[in-house]
Structure 1
């Protein structure tokens, strides 16, 4: 055990945050700390780092072990460049390098025994330098910076020039090159694009140390962690496995607890009814029996009903009217800023009922495309056209559609003046704004709270075409799952930008990858995109070698798109056929079981005619069942 937290308690005033939280981290272990927003995850990390004192309990770090921490928000300033700031993380290696040079220069000043001692000390320092991969520290710094999304020409930027998100990435790079025995990361993926997140996944999976992550990125957690520490109702529970395993086991635990509670409640009610009945006879022996049962009932340790955090947003997104089949057509779209071209000649269409994810690295222009479609930014070239009866609802990650000076209640009531106060309060309660929370100013809300207000407004708009820019930012995992469910049941059309791969995988029916200043289309979810990415990028992004080659590439791209559609249709058909066969198999197996039971019925045992009829029917069913098995096996083996 490299890190142990034992019975950690923390309160703020009369409000408990953590109560007897306990868990351990093994050497080289990879663990996640999960829980809803406000559960105390970041507080726990600060207690581990001794940045905040606990009210009770202890944190034990193994002797001689080092620990590093990345908080959610970083405020680095100064004249250092990005490269110099991260290089600071290699200060010990740099000092060893300087010491080696000094010792090499001093060698000529020693003779005999002194030289032997000097050489012995020299080789000891040299061995430590080599063990720390000292000869490669500069390339390591460059590699980590590039992996986290910094181009080499950005290395010379000064810290004072950077945004908050860039500063967080620099801090993360500095922590990674420092290589402590334990890394604590608080929402490390918040300011990373998909490419950088994928790089960080690989880095942490292969990291020769322990890693503890607080994150709402389920795909990220699934890939890295082998243990999950859940903070719920101020207490902790430890689950082995990745996030998906945790979610499954958590549901099983809750189901078992609920079943035990319900069974006990039924037993208590039954005993109370028996006691009341015995007393009603008003005879001494029955009264004594009733009293005996009452004493037994008093000894029962009554189970509490399993509690859950009140976090669910009861979304119901229903379009006011149904749009035409053609929802959006984009042709020849182009945009540049300060002479730098973001994208050019962008073409794509969106049909009714599609849920399309627009993905790409930071800075490629994803949000710009959404703003162009919403009339907030003008395109340099090209056009877009909305279809008939299309009504757009827009969710902006920067929440520019909110008025900072208004309260939560007035933000909704001013936008929808016909709504009653009861209706507004009911709606806001579904988005976790209850009591006096509805009178908080938008300006005073956290990013996650503003996001929930924007989603509430979007729900009321009854739009049939939702355009969403990073809708899961600042949402906890439970809220993301509810939003996923709502979008999957939504009868309209959705275009969204997100770097949350789990969310994309759960909701997208098609992916548009903005790369190389153009859009590549994938008809499927994120897993399908990963499968086809390399093949399609070779087709779309290869260099033009003349008109014939360009036309060939265009033709190949269109053919591949058509093949994708046909392949998706084939897969859906096969899955439907398998599902029907499984249902038929279940029915046939039950019918055969019923006949077998009829064979055992004494009434049929002496009736040879009935037994012959049953056997004939069973043989027919058995034949059909074998055919179903063969068809199911054949379809299941198809790819």
Structure 2
């Protein structure tokens, strides 16, 4: 065991954030802390790092163990270049290397005992240098920087010129290079693109130390962690397994708790009715019996009612008007900023009812595409056409659609004057803003709270074409799941940019990958994209070392040949139907085989095999099952 938290308590005023939190992390273990926004996850990390004092309890770190921590918005501040800043982590190794070079020079002029002593020191130092990976520290540093999304030409950039997200990535790189025995990470994927997140997953999986992560990225958690510590109403519960295992076990646990609570409530109600009836007889014996039951009832340890699942965001997005079949057509779209060309000659179209995700590395122009379609900025070349009766609802990750000086109530009331005060309050309550919260100013809200206000406005807009820019940023896991369900039930059309792979997997019917200044189309979710990425990228977005003429030919083919695209779409639709039919057949076979086994078990019961009528009925059902199974086996074989 490398880290232990025992009976941690923490309150801020009247709000009790952590209550008797106890868990531990083993050496090399990868664990996650999950919970809704405000559950106390970051507070717990700060207590572990001794940046915040617990009201009660104790944090114990294994003797001699080192610990590293990356806070949620931590960034470096320095006049160094990116490369120089990461070299700071390797100061000891660099000093050791310089000492070795110095000893080599000294030995040229030494002899006898002096030379022997220097050689002995040299061998000890070189062994330590090798043990600390000294011969490969430069390649290690370069690998971390590239893994976190920095190109080699960016290594010489000054830290002072970087964006906040880039500075956070530098801070993460320094932490990973320092290789402590246990790493604490608070939302490490927030400023990483998909490739960098995938690299970080691999790095952490192979990391020889322990890792404790706070994250809302469920795909990331599924890949990395083997233990989940859930904070709920201040209390901690430990679940073994990854995020999916946790979610499944959590649902089972909650069902069991709800069932136990309902049974107890039923028993209490029954006892109360019996007591009331006994008292109504108004006889000495009956009153004594009632009093005896009352004492027993008072001794029952009352179970708390499990928290309702419907107390989070409830999105119901219904288009007021149905759009035409063709929702959006983009032709020959290009955009540059100065010498930086984001994309050129983009061509794609979206049909009614599609859920399309645009993915790609940071800086490739995904958000720019959304802004062009929403007429926030203009394209350098090309055009886009909206279909008949298309009404856009736009969710901006920077929340430019919000007015900082307004209160939440005013933000809704001014845009939707027809709503009553009660309707406005009910809408905001659905997004967790209750009581006096509605009179807070937008400028005083956190990023996650602003996101919820923007989503509330989107819900009220009744648009039939939703354009969403990173809609899951700052949302906790429960809120993400509710948004996913809402989008899956939404009958309109959705185009969104997201780095949340789990969210994409749950909601996208098509993916557009912005790579190599062009778009590559995948008709499926994120898992399908991973399966086909290498194949389709090599065809439609070859690497820069491919001949220019070949690049041009492929570009022309991909942009103009809609027949090929339609053919692929039909083939993939057929394959999805085959898979669905196969699953249905297998489910039916399993159900019938289970029933057939049940009949066999029933026929062994004396009460059944002595009942002629029952036996005949079961034999008849068994024959029908055999006939159905024979037909299903044939269907299954043909589908396979």
Same fold (TM over 0.5): yes
Matched, 1:571 2:576: yes
CA pair 447-612 structure 1, distance change in 2 beyond 3 A = closer
**Corresponding residue for 2:352?**
352
Q: Tell me, yes or no, if structure 1 residue 365 matches structure 2 residue 365.
A: yes
Identify the residue that residue 379 of structure 1 maps to in structure 2: 379
**1:24 and 1:394, CA in 2 relative to 1: closer, same or farther beyond 3 A?**
same
CA deviations 1:545-593 (Å, max 9, x no partner) are 4687777777999646623431333322441464267358747976996
Aligned-residue offset at 1:367 = 0.6
Paired residues of 1:592 and 1:618 also in contact (CA < 8 A): no
In structure 2, the gaps of 5 or more residues are none
Q: Secondary structure at the match of 1:301?
A: coil
Distance in structure 1 (CA, Å) of the matches to 2:145 and 2:566: 36
On the 8 A contact 1:141/1:177 being kept in 2, the answer is yes
Instruction: Tell me by how many angstroms 1:277 deviates.
Output: 2.8
Shift of 1:538: 1.3
Q: Distance in 2 between matches of 1:162 and 1:120?
A: 46
Which sits farther off after the overlay, 15-24 or 72-81? 72-81
Q: What is the match of residue 620 of structure 2?
A: 617
8 Å Cα contact 1:599-1:605 kept in structure 2: no
Q: Distance in 2 between matches of 1:101 and 1:581?
A: 70
- Alpha-carbon distance change, 611 to 439 in structure 1, aligned in 2, over 3 angstroms: closer
2:255 maps to what in 1?
Answer: 255
Return the alpha-carbon distance in structure 2 between the equivalents of residues 634 and 390 of structure 1.
45
Offset, 1:54: 1.4
Q: CA 1:125 to 1:529, structure 2 compared with 1: closer, same or farther past 3 Å?
A: same
Instruction: Supply the distance in 1 between the matched residues of 2:553 and 2:39 (Cα, whole angstroms).
Output: 60
RMSD between aligned residues: 2.7
Q: Deviations over 1:129-163 (max 9, x none)?
A: 10111011111111111111111111111111111
1:204 aligns with 2:197: no
Q: 1:472 is matched with which residue? A: 472
Corresponding residue to 1:627 among 627, 630, 635: 630
Against the structure 1 CA distance between its residues 619 and 550, is the aligned structure 2 distance closer, same or farther, given a 3 Å change threshold? same
How far off is 1:272 after superposition? 2.3
Map 1:252-401 onto structure 2 (within 5 A).
252-307=252-307, 312-401=312-401
User: 1: distance between equivalents of 2:404 and 2:608?
Assistant: 80
CA spacing shift, 1:555–1:125, aligned 2, 3 Å? same
Mapped pair 1:237 → 2:240: no
The separation in 1 between residues aligned to 2:608 and 2:36, in whole angstroms, is 61
Q: CA deviation at 1:52?
A: 1.4
Q: Deviations over 1:178-223 (max 9, x none)?
A: 1111111111111111111111111111111111111110000100
Partner in structure 2 of residue 103 of structure 1: 103
* 3-state DSSP of counterpart to 1:513: strand
Could you tell me which residue of structure 2 aligns to residue 73 of structure 1? Answer: 73
Alignment of 1:10-21 (within 5 A): 10-21=10-21
Deviation (angstroms), 1:45? 1.0
* 1:262 match: secondary structure: helix
C-alpha separation in 1, matches of 2:159 and 2:184: 23
Q: Distance in 1 between matches of 2:597 and 2:276?
A: 47
Contact 1:409 1:438 in 2 (8 A): yes
Report the TM-score, using the length of structure 1 for normalisation: 0.93
Question: What residue in structure 2 maps to residue 152 of structure 1?
Answer: 152
| TM value normalised by structure 2 | 0.93
Say if 2:347 and 2:559, in contact at 8 Å, map to a contact too.
no
CA distance in 2, matches of 1:167, 1:628: 63
Q: Secondary structure at the match of 1:10?
A: strand
SS at match of 1:343: strand
Deviation at 1:252, TM superposition (A): 1.1
**Farther-moved stretch of structure 1 (570-579 vs 89-98):** 570-579
User: Deviation at 1:96?
Assistant: 1.7
State the SS of the aligned residue for 1:375.
coil
Aligned to 2:446: 446
Aligned residues: 635
Please, which moves more after superposition, 391-400 or 623-632?
Answer: 623-632
479-488 or 432-441: bigger deviation: 432-441
SS of the residue corresponding to residue 64 of structure 1 reads coil
- 1:427-576 to 2 correspondences below 5 Å: 427-542=427-542, 543=546, 545=549, 559=564, 562-576=567-581
State whether structure 2 residue 57 is matched by structure 1 residue 52. Answer: no
